Structure 1
């Protein structure tokens, strides 16, 4: 017999085999035992959580000749026929490829006929949200009043696309994502049945990569078995799933914590060179951030979920303030959304790394206090001077509190005084240089630069590329190029980076023969500067017109004096 994939070989055949859906299976079994089977059901939930499997088990259970406690026996002809797909009265229809009105009308016509092989005719419509509006309308009446011998089971991953009129005519069951512990237990059972040796930490890696889907977990396990040499190891699991090692993520976050942008970018570059996908890297970093935050609050919960807890992970959780982790999680989550709509996710990953490195990481005050108190313990001090030292420490603590209060008052005064003044920009904009470029700027130069901008980024180093990804060219002349940055700090760095300016100069010369001087500007200041330049140009133009009018007026007066005599001319001002 040909090889069969694990998710097909180990497909649940009874309600008890379904993992992580105990509430749904118990409800369905009780409905069968009490003979309160509805005419239509709607199974919703993420992929690989058992919707179609539950529908087939339900079809077997209601048609089983020897059903016990709502479970199919899987031994009678009806059960075997449904499992093998030989019973014509149990039909599984893929709505993605049969979504037209004609297919649904055909079903509507055939439901009138009684089943020929089993007591109930069951229609399982998978991915029902793919049906067209006309098909839903054709199904509506039949779904509302079907014959007594017909049961409809609709399955979908996107219930919000199903009309409310359809949902209201069904019993809805929401299948939830399967937790990692249940997936681990199921995988361990399968590997033991197949006599395959494995490392216990492998199951945690596979379960977390499956994201709550049992079918995904079995597919990953199938691939891992083929990849390994007989024993499933952690290294093989990380390689197959594309996940990062805990040490790699710890090193990355330590570099970001210490604002070591260069090292963090080098780590990202090494991850990409190892074949890790940018989307997968961000996903792993986001989960690792969550693990650190959870470990600070509930260590036992994280210890039960992670394959292992390293010393570097513990050090990281002790060093990083939770507020910094909140900011990191927000940045990672936002970047994960943006990366879904780009063709170059690696650039977004590099920009993200720079952002994380710029966030100030502050060690929590309580940890500093704990460290100071642990370094000097009362039991370590002996002798007559103990009470004297205690008094001195108390005096120093009072002085320290007084100084802190004074300092906080001074800071409040500074904040109040600074709030009345305009904030000074982090970067001083070179207005004169920008106006010089704008005087000679042309659309042709700007279009040429924008056309080769993506190619230019590929010619730069990793650090330079990440920096320029956060900017765009906004004006260009024969000798100058103005680029607008999203952040003032990157604008400041770019203006001071002579190596970057030379690299852009050489790259543009190589691509289009254009050799401008690079001028950086914050994006927030660009529109204001542009408007200033336009206003200044308009005033200059108006002044020139007034001078021409004055000259023309003087010529007319002199000609009139020659013709009529100066004594006969009287000039009246308007």
Structure 2
């Protein structure tokens, strides 16, 4: 007999043989045992994860002579015939080459006839997303009201291309990528069954290259058996797949951490000369950095390390490379990997990424705690000196006027408050308008932070709305320089605040900034004028008329 590929020889014949799809097999077995068999199923998922195998196992199970059972017996004529493909009632159709309307119409005509050899007719349509729109429409009515003896199993790697009307008439099962541990376990079983010696590192490298697909893993194992000299070693697999060894990856990352650009480029050139694939190399680098990240943050989590071997070199790298550098490397390499998919020169992009990593600022170059301590002490001394000068200034300002020299007032921040505008605002100010602005002020600061305008939020942190009318509000700042910064057109603080308030309140408010000290004076003066006007309005009309005619200085009031 001609040689058969391993993925055909070791194709699962029972649900128990399937790896990594327990959520699917358990549901199907329960349906078989309880006679809750649907008329249509949709199996979707990545390639090589067992969709067609599960469909054939299910077809055997429903037609097995020992049914109802959770597994086919694989001994009765029905199971053996379906396995061999000699039962005409179980048809496996490739939709990629049979996607026309006429072929689906032929199926629709034949489903009316009862099965001849087994209990159920089972149509397994592989790559069903390749059907034309007309073919889907022809299949739709049959899926909706099929005969009782017919079961449709649709398999696809791209379920988003299937019309929603088809999906809604099927029980959908999503097959997942097979975990690394499951692939390695199955590869060990196959290698032992074939009498092949293979190291654990080699099988792990094959499983990683398979990317969650069992068929790809078995094909790579088949290729590795032919490539090796009787025993499959890690170097054989790395040479065959174009991947880099752990030692090479560790050396490259160590050179990146040292910022040794020349060494990095030399190692990269050596790997390219050995036939390594740039796309595979960038993926291995990302996974190695990922393992460093997990080892540093969660060293006790089982199976956290995927590709690296926790040896002295790995532990040393984990101790010397900071989390900041690991995050930066993963982010930069991931961005480069996305760009490499759409270029004809992936090697060039990877070279640029490696040079960027060598020249990126490292967290290790930042000031340490011991270096920061003198600066902090110096800062404390300056703050103490500033407080002493302020106290002296307050003492001199409280001294008698005769001993104090006239000093010209100087605007420290160069800010001139719009006093007239504030007076006009206070005349129309209401408690309701002020409550509206105050109630939304915390939301304004949060919105600025979410918009990554942290400097604006910090500037406004100690400000407070103190008065408002229907069209404007007064914002009090502790220092005059803050008023100038907030109203400077170049900083756009005022525009941002007004825009956010409009979004929150649906009303246009103009922001008027004023220092705390000046606000106190304006407020007191406004209150005094308001009280004086109130007293004046309460005078008797005769007295007011007399003051108007003769002048207030000529009138003497007597009880």
TM-score, normalised by the number of residues in structure 1: 0.63
Q: What's the CA shift for 1:407?
A: 11
- 3-state secondary structure, aligned to 1:363: helix
Counterpart in the other structure of 2:248: 248
Matches within 5 A, 1:107-506: 107-300=107-300, 301=302, 305-306=306-307, 308-363=309-364, 402-403=377-378
Larger displacement relative to structure 2 (111-120 or 190-199): 190-199
Query: CA, structure 1 residues 174+137, in 2 after alignment: closer, same or farther (shift >3 Å)?
Result: same
Aligned equivalents of 2:359, 2:92: Cα separation in 1:
55
Aligned equivalents of 2:204, 2:112: Cα separation in 1:
50
Aligned equivalents of 1:127, 1:81: Cα separation in 2:
24
Query: CA, structure 1 residues 407+264, in 2 after alignment: closer, same or farther (shift >3 Å)?
Result: farther
Q: Is residue 258–residue 361 contact of structure 1 (8 Å, CA) maintained in 2? A: no
- Structure 1 segments (4+ residues) deviating >3 Å: 300-307, 363-366, 396-401, 403-409
Q: What's the CA shift for 1:401?
A: 5.2
Aligned equivalents of 2:382, 2:98: Cα separation in 1:
73
Q: Is residue 105–residue 138 contact of structure 1 (8 Å, CA) maintained in 2? A: yes
Aligned equivalents of 1:111, 1:408: Cα separation in 2:
90
Aligned equivalents of 2:237, 2:204: Cα separation in 1:
10
Query: CA, structure 1 residues 350+304, in 2 after alignment: closer, same or farther (shift >3 Å)?
Result: closer
Query: CA, structure 1 residues 194+67, in 2 after alignment: closer, same or farther (shift >3 Å)?
Result: farther
Counterpart in the other structure of 1:539: none
Counterpart in the other structure of 1:57: 57
Counterpart in the other structure of 2:2: 2
Larger displacement relative to structure 2 (183-192 or 295-304): 295-304
Aligned equivalents of 1:408, 1:19: Cα separation in 2:
68
Counterpart in the other structure of 1:389: none
Aligned equivalents of 1:305, 1:27: Cα separation in 2:
30
- 3-state secondary structure, aligned to 2:123: strand
Cα deviation code 1:308-366 (max 9, x no counterpart): 22322222211222222222212212222222222222111212222222212223999
Larger displacement relative to structure 2 (186-195 or 397-406): 397-406
Q: What's the CA shift for 1:397?
A: 10
Larger displacement relative to structure 2 (131-140 or 297-306): 297-306
Q: What's the CA shift for 1:205?
A: 1.4
Larger displacement relative to structure 2 (148-157 or 94-103): 94-103
Counterpart in the other structure of 2:435: none
Aligned equivalents of 1:294, 1:364: Cα separation in 2:
23
Counterpart in the other structure of 1:37: 37
TM-score, normalised by the number of residues in structure 2: 0.65
Cα deviation code 1:364-407 (max 9, x no counterpart): 999x88xx9xxxxxxxxxxxxxxxxxxxxxxx997675358789
Query: CA, structure 1 residues 403+161, in 2 after alignment: closer, same or farther (shift >3 Å)?
Result: farther
Q: Is residue 93–residue 125 contact of structure 1 (8 Å, CA) maintained in 2? A: yes
> How many residues align structurally?
383
Counterpart in the other structure of 1:90: 90
Query: CA, structure 1 residues 404+188, in 2 after alignment: closer, same or farther (shift >3 Å)?
Result: farther
Q: What's the CA shift for 1:188?
A: 1.1
Q: What's the CA shift for 1:244?
A: 0.5
Q: What's the CA shift for 1:69?
A: 3.2
Aligned equivalents of 2:316, 2:129: Cα separation in 1:
49
Cα deviation code 1:513-552 (max 9, x no counterpart): xxxxxxxxxxxxxxxxxxxxxxxxxxxxxxxxxxxxxxxx
Aligned equivalents of 1:110, 1:186: Cα separation in 2:
40
Query: CA, structure 1 residues 302+255, in 2 after alignment: closer, same or farther (shift >3 Å)?
Result: farther
Query: CA, structure 1 residues 84+308, in 2 after alignment: closer, same or farther (shift >3 Å)?
Result: same
Aligned equivalents of 2:238, 2:376: Cα separation in 1:
51
Aligned equivalents of 1:320, 1:69: Cα separation in 2:
56
Aligned equivalents of 1:252, 1:14: Cα separation in 2:
45
Q: Is residue 124–residue 154 contact of structure 2 (8 Å, CA) maintained in 1? A: yes
Aligned equivalents of 2:335, 2:372: Cα separation in 1:
44
Query: CA, structure 1 residues 335+191, in 2 after alignment: closer, same or farther (shift >3 Å)?
Result: same
Larger displacement relative to structure 2 (398-407 or 77-86): 398-407
Counterpart in the other structure of 2:475: none
Aligned equivalents of 1:408, 1:12: Cα separation in 2:
76
CA RMSD across the alignment = 2.5
Aligned equivalents of 1:258, 1:227: Cα separation in 2:
37
Q: Is residue 319–residue 363 contact of structure 1 (8 Å, CA) maintained in 2? A: no
- 3-state secondary structure, aligned to 1:124: strand
Q: Is residue 120–residue 149 contact of structure 1 (8 Å, CA) maintained in 2? A: yes
Aligned equivalents of 1:340, 1:89: Cα separation in 2:
44
- 3-state secondary structure, aligned to 1:360: coil
Cα deviation code 1:188-213 (max 9, x no counterpart): 11222222222222222111111111
Q: Is residue 35–residue 68 contact of structure 2 (8 Å, CA) maintained in 1? A: no
Counterpart in the other structure of 1:472: none
Aligned equivalents of 1:58, 1:14: Cα separation in 2:
9
Q: Is residue 43–residue 175 contact of structure 2 (8 Å, CA) maintained in 1? A: yes
- 3-state secondary structure, aligned to 1:244: coil
Q: What's the CA shift for 1:90?
A: 0.6
Counterpart in the other structure of 1:434: none
Structure 2: gaps spanning 5 or more residues: 385-559
Query: CA, structure 1 residues 282+399, in 2 after alignment: closer, same or farther (shift >3 Å)?
Result: closer
